[in-house]
Amino acid sequence: MDIPANFNQLRDIGLAMLKARLSGFHPIAPEATAAIDRLQWSMRTYEPSEYVLRHGERPKVCTLLLKGFLYRHKIVANGGRQIVALALPGDLLDVQQLTLSQADHNIQALTEATVANCRAEDVITCARTHSGIAIALWHLALIEASITREWIANIGRRDAQSRTAHLLCELAVRCDAAGLGAPDAFELPMTQEQLGDTLGLTAVHINRTLRSLEVRGAITRDKRSIAVTDWRALREIGDFSADYLHLRDDQHAFG
Amino acid sequence: MDIPANFNQLRDIGLAMLKARLSGFHPIAPEATAAIDRLQWSMRTYEPSEYVLRHGERPKVCTLLLKGFLYRHKIVANGGRQIVALALPGDLLDVQQLTLSQADHNIQALTEATVANCRAEDVITCARTHSGIAIALWHLALIEASITREWIANIGRRDAQSRTAHLLCELAVRCDAAGLGAPDAFELPMTQEQLGDTLGLTAVHINRTLRSLEVRGAITRDKRSIAVTDWRALREIGDFSADYLHLRDDQHAFG
DNA sequence: CGAATCGTTGATTCAACTCAACGCGAGTGG
DNA sequence: CCACTCGCGTTGAGTTGAATCAACGATTCG
């Protein structure tokens, strides 16, 4: 529960990130930027594990994540849970408003999170008026799909060590791109159970896998934070290349 | 190598499918439809296993699949291959043109396939001029991402039988929606190795899994074609619900 | 000081993989 | 027309990576 002043500051930073990202493909027109600035955003916070959206709901708002992490997940018949995406600050969770049908997955807060909401309808109106915005949103959706495809390859065809290393690499790079601290020692805000649900493994096996990555010297751990001690090794183990993230060249420092 | 007359007919059907799909969210303006009709499409065919796009290439064209199947896949470090998406007739493979970076995966023909290509630049110009088109393309990208997320859950958290059954259900429903024959007996144009690469399993295990699905009475097989004999059972085994495909109500008949 | 959550570790089981062989049908070429 | 090859499907035997089951620490919080 910050004071409104902080909220406004956060919102402005978030909007700046959003505009930067929307113009990542092609610069968008000043009128379009102005239209984004005119959108009415309302702020709110979520506690860890609080639901942002539930499967079957019909969201009316568009959510811009300002602070913290969210995750999307699905529940399957045998009771298993699969985390299908992670959202970092600056990400726009447009989700299913456009499909006008109900949400096909859940969105939950991973950490304490602050978001800005605005009416989905207004965003669509904005996109309809300014085709540059619509194209930019299309672009963002394609990038998100690209990340999701890489996750399929990760879960489907890599073993536990490689999978885990790959996820750590992705998180480090994305955190870096989102302006969250140095990549060589980032705080991993996930429990081992959540890691397991992300990687299609069990929490127990995540534990052993993290240990083995530590033994191999790729990472060090302290309590619940993870530091990357050997980037080259981690990238090698995880078969990681950042190209599928489609970041602009200036957004990260990994060769 | 059909005669041009057939090509033109195919192209017209494909364009009609495309326009129907683009207006699935909201009807698009007549001017926009006209703009699509003015796009210059050039036809070509691919032989099975022929590459449509290779990882690292920078595609200049936008591809509309008219006939046959394509698949997207990635190769991982240990040599494994993971199929990350299947394209059916009517699908638009916009892929990475927008991201202006190089392709992060391969696209290959599963069967003999006919496509219509047009300059990606022209499509983007079209979207820029008619925001309704840009929004519709955004919409399609979101649906594709939704399918990809379901695949993650499928591969990550379901066992071999359930996974396989789920894929069969998806293919049947999508084939049906694409107007390809009755859903209760569709021809599966994939080898067991390709099925394995789609589901994160080995070809040998796919073989045993298909057999067990047959023993349970859900499917029957003959040579390389599969017929669904018990829909309810297959849906149950595969924990399948079509909602993630975001088809319009009139597009399939499965409850 | 409990209670709860998360991490750690060991013993055991099992689903899927690997390896290897063989069958079968479709081409192909002598 | 037959012999050959090649790709794909099938089947069995043995192995293994990850799951399961179960217990015990560590940390946090009320």
Reading chain B (255 residues) residue by residue, the pLDDT tens digits are 445 567 888 999 999 999 999 998 788 999 999 999 999 999 999 999 999 999 999 888 999 999 999 999 999 999 999 999 999 999 999 766 777 678 999 999 999 999 999 999 999 999 999 999 999 999 999 999 999 999 999 999 999 999 999 999 999 999 999 988 766 777 788 999 999 999 999 999 999 999 999 999 999 998 778 889 999 999 999 999 999 999 876 554 443
Contacts of B146 in chain A (CB under 8 A): 96, 99, 104
CB contact under 8 A, A138 and B141: yes
Nearest Cα of chain A lies from the Cα of B188 at a distance, in angstroms, of: 21
- Tell me which of A133, A148, A162, A202 to substitute to probe the interface with B (most B C-beta atoms closer than 10 Å): A148
B235, closest residue in chain A (CA to CA) = A77
Q: How far is the CA of B191 from the C1' of D22 (A)?
A: 43
Contact between the CB of A204 and strand C at under 7 Å: yes
Confidence of residue A125 (pLDDT cuts 50, 70, 90): very high
Q: Residue A249 carries which side chain, given as an amino acid letter?
A: D
Residue A47, CB, strand C, below 7 Å: no
Res A2: pLDDT = 44
Q: How many CB atoms lie within 10 A of CB B30?
A: 8
Do residues A195 and A206 lie in contact, with contact meaning Cβ atoms separated by under 8 Å?
yes
Integer Cα distance of B167 and A123 in angstroms:
34
CA contacts within 13 A on the Cβ side of A146: 28
Cα separation, B20 vs A160, in Å, equals 43
Query: In the numeric block, which tokens belong to residue A128?
Result: 């309809």
pLDDT, tens only, A38-97: 999 999 999 999 999 999 998 889 999 999 999 999 999 999 999 999 999 999 997 667
Q: How far is the CA of A207 from the C1' of D7 (A)?
A: 43
Rg (CA), chain B: 18
* Shortest Cα distance, chain B CAs vs residue A183, angstroms: 23
Strand C: list positions under 7 Å from protein Cβ: 5-11, 15-20
Give A206 to chain B, closest Cα distance, Å: 14
Pick from B144, B138, B193: nearest CA to B170: B144
Please report the pLDDT score of residue A183 as a whole number.
63
**Cross-chain residue pair A134–B134, CB shorter than 8 Å:** yes
With an 8 Å Cβ cutoff, is A55 touching chain B?
no
A121 touches chain B (CB under 8 A): no
Residue B71's closest CA among B29, B100, B121, B113? Answer: B113
Q: Can you tell me the distance from the alpha carbon of B10 to that of A19, in angstroms, rounded to the nearest whole number? A: 41
Average per-residue pLDDT in chain A? 90
> Would you state the structure tokens that stand for residue B65, as one six-digit string?
């699949």
Q: Which residues contact A86 (CB under 8 A, 6 or more apart)?
A: A69, A70, A71, A72, A110, A171, A174, A198
pTM for the full model? 0.94
Report the candidate in B11, B5, B105 with the shortest Cα–Cα distance to residue B67. B11
Please spell the DSSP secondary structure of B140-171, one letter per residue.
Answer: HHHHHHHHHHHHHHHHHHS-HHHHHHHHHHHH
Q: Which residues of B195-228 are buried (b: 16+ CB within 10 A; e: fewer)?
A: bbbbbbbeeeebeebbeebeeeebbeeeeeebeb
Q: For residue B83, give how far its alpha carbon lies from the nearest alpha carbon of chain A (Å).
A: 8
Give the strand pairing for A219-222 and A92-93: unpaired
C-beta separation of A220 from A214 below 8 A: yes
Residue A178 has pLDDT above 60, yes or no: yes
Which of B84, B134, B144 lies at the smallest CB-CB distance from A131? Answer: B134
